[in-house]
Amino acid sequence: MIVVTGATGTVGSRIVRGLRERGEQVRTPVRNPGAVPAEWDAGVTPVAADFTDPASLDAALAGATVVYLLAGVDPQMAQHERNVIDAAVRAGSHPRIVLQAASGVDGPHEGVRFLTAHAQAWAHLRASGLPWTVLAPNGFYQNFLLMAGSVRAGQLSVPGGGAAVSYVDADDVAACAVEVLTGAGHEGALYTLTGPAGLTHGEIAEQLGAAAGHEVAYVAAEPQAALAYMLGAGWDPWRAEGLVELYGYYAAGSAAGVSPDVAGLTGRGPRPLADFLAVNGGVLRGE
Ligand SMILES: NC(=O)c1ccc[n+]([C@@H]2O[C@H](COP(=O)([O-])OP(=O)(O)OC[C@H]3O[C@@H](n4cnc5c(N)ncnc54)[C@H](OP(=O)(O)O)[C@@H]3O)[C@@H](O)[C@H]2O)c1
């Protein structure tokens, strides 16, 4: 039985779709089984579970053969991931854990809390004795759709400095996940998932502008100003500070590299940003 956590989110929902397209049965631990995506058919079994509730995780992971471990960004993210790993150990079926971390989890990332949290969970996983695989995606193209309001006002304003980032399509991340969940030979592997090119935020702003139908200027925000803006907008401080740290990591050029792993896993190259925006540009235009 394949178990997919985080199945209602950006990547998880795409993984469930991909597994069902292959005829796989999927169990999905969800916080609210009464509000699952309408597209989930009888081949998807939602089970009430919460990362904070070990007993619920025991029930959700019983008999699992492979578990996709995706915990959303949260101050307790590392603990949530450890809780799932511990429940998988207790399950007794010795499931393989496919941990969704983030690119850079296997390199120096001091002071970048999202990466530190995933690194802690990965260390816990290695010590668990369970077979494991890590997917380490770069930032998602989908994040730019969340900035549609700012893009419509003609700005991409993030504290990303002048370095390139090889952002990736969440569809490609999910396609890799489906391969790794259903295929053999992935034990002990870490796959870094990037798009086909490193792009500066200036270049990304140009592409957003082309998709939106008007000029979009990149404004390299100061980290403290970006943090103040997010806190003023009611963001959780841990998450806002973490995002500023991550953009600092981007600005240092640490997320610019292009990996061959999407092509290696799926047999086709990762989707370019321009192709993604050609399909999703309507969101930027407010359609
Ligand atoms: N965004 C990026 O650009 C990016 C890039 C690389 C890596 N990542 C990593 O990818 C992960 C986020 O992936 P995503 O964007 O697909 O996630 P997402 O859309 O934020 O979804 C989070 C999922 O986790 C579930 N969840 C949250 N708290 C839970 C709890 N206490 N118990 C059970 N389920 C819970 C949510 O369920 P509900 O429906 O109940 O809320 C949802 O299904 C993070 O680990 C992040 O570090 C993100």
pLDDT tens track for 90-119: 999 999 999 999 999 999 999 999 999 999
Which structure tokens are listed for 98? 């496919």
Which structure tokens are listed for 202? 């200036």
The amino acid sitting at 100 is Q
2-137 and 140-168+194-257+271-287 share one fold: no
Q: How far apart are CA 27 and CA 85, in angstroms?
A: 16
Q: Is the CB of 142 under 6 A from ligand 1?
A: no
Best of 11, 77, 79 for a ligand 1 pocket test (most atoms within 8 Å of beta carbon): 11
Indicate the domain borders of the chain: 2-137, 140-168+194-257+271-287
Q: How far apart are CA 180 and CA 182, in angstroms?
A: 6
The amino acid sitting at 158 is V
Residue 157 confidence class, pLDDT cut points 50, 70, 90: very high
Q: Is the CB of 10 under 6 A from ligand 1?
A: yes
CATH number of 2-137: 3.40.50.720
The number of residues in the chain equals 287
Displacement of CA 12 from its chain's centroid (Å): 9
Q: Is the CB of 46 under 6 A from ligand 1?
A: no
The helix (run of H) or strand (run of E) holding residue 99 is strand 96-100
Closest ligand 1 atom, residue 73 Cα:
44
CATH of 140-168+194-257+271-287, one of 3.90.25.10, 2.140.10.10, 1.10.3720.10, 1.25.50.10: 3.90.25.10
User: Which of 222, 97, 201 lies closest to 151 in space, CA to CA?
Assistant: 201
**Per-residue model confidence (pLDDT) at position 122:** 98
Q: How far is the CA of 206 from the centre of ligand 1 (A)?
A: 29
Model confidence over 203-219: pLDDT tens digits? 999 999 999 999 999 99
- Residue 106 sits at the vertex; the CA angle it makes with 102 and 111, to the nearest 5 degrees, is 75
CB neighbours of 263 closer than 8 A, spacing ≥ 6?
A: 269, 270
Model confidence over 239-283: pLDDT tens digits? 999 999 999 999 999 999 999 999 999 999 999 999 999 999 999
Give the pLDDT mean for 63-79: 98
Q: Is the CB of 104 under 6 A from ligand 1?
A: no
Q: How far apart are CA 245 and CA 222, in angstroms?
A: 12
Residue 151 confidence class, pLDDT cut points 50, 70, 90: very high
Q: Is the CB of 70 under 6 A from ligand 1?
A: yes
Which structure tokens are listed for 195? 């798009």
Q: Is the CB of 242 under 6 A from ligand 1?
A: no
Residue 123 confidence class, pLDDT cut points 50, 70, 90: very high
